[in-house]
Amino acid sequence: ATPGGDGTLRVGAPVVAGQTLFTVYDLSGLYVTADVDEVDVPRVRPGQRVEVLVDALPDATIVGRVEGVGVAAEQTATGGVGYPTRVRLLRVEAGRGPSSPSRSGLRVGMTASAEIVTRRVRSRTTVPSPALRREGQRTVVFTVRRGVARSVPVRVRAVDERLAAVTGRVTPRDRVIVAGSEGLSDGDPVSAARRVGGRERG
């Protein structure tokens, strides 16, 4: 419990009706409230797995579960629109094995970010998400074949900020162009960069 008001509460001090005397926190169950963007919120459902990263605990991943999604939007700290999503924290996964969130050093008010798993897809081929490009009505990736860039149409089955699960005429052995493909055309000559002494040459 913590004293309310301006911290001057003491024995014999006058109080008025409605004044907050103490704030009591129930630490038997810990939660995070995440602001989910309006574009993503239709895919969020109770029961989905959540991975929470807390700024103050950089070496720990906290696994949680979505318990509820707000029906009314709120303005986020960055000025956007988000839907408050309640996440119950279940366990902490760190180098020493799983532990309880209540014993991890978590404190009320800490800053955290959450990744909600909305879909799982098994795929034999994945590419970095930044490699995806739009050409008209189709999605392509550029691969390097015999020293030239080749535009390869793909079908995206699932995508997140890092990886995309794709099908098409691209294989795990292909070298995919991740950065610098803006303005490339099929057949343009390219060369792979070599990193030497912290600098790229190519």
For residue 2, give Cα distances in angstroms to 5, 8, 26, 33: 10, 12, 12, 22
* CA atoms of 61 and 51, how far apart (whole Å): 6
Which helix (H) or strand (E) segment is 32 a member of? strand 31-37
Question: What Å distances lie between residue 89 and 33, 54, 84, 120, CA to CA?
Answer: 11, 12, 16, 21
- The tens place of each residue's pLDDT in the chain, 202 residues long, gives 445 555 567 777 888 888 887 778 777 788 999 998 887 888 899 999 999 988 888 888 889 999 999 999 888 777 778 899 999 999 887 655 666 776 677 888 888 888 888 877 777 788 888 888 888 888 888 888 877 888 888 888 877 778 888 888 887 788 888 876 677 777 777 776 544 443 433 4
* Contacts of 34 by beta carbon, 8 Å cutoff, 6+ apart: 50, 84, 85, 87, 113, 114, 116
Is-above-0.85 flag for pTM? no
**How far apart, in whole angstroms, are the C-alpha atoms of residue 102 and residue 2?**
18
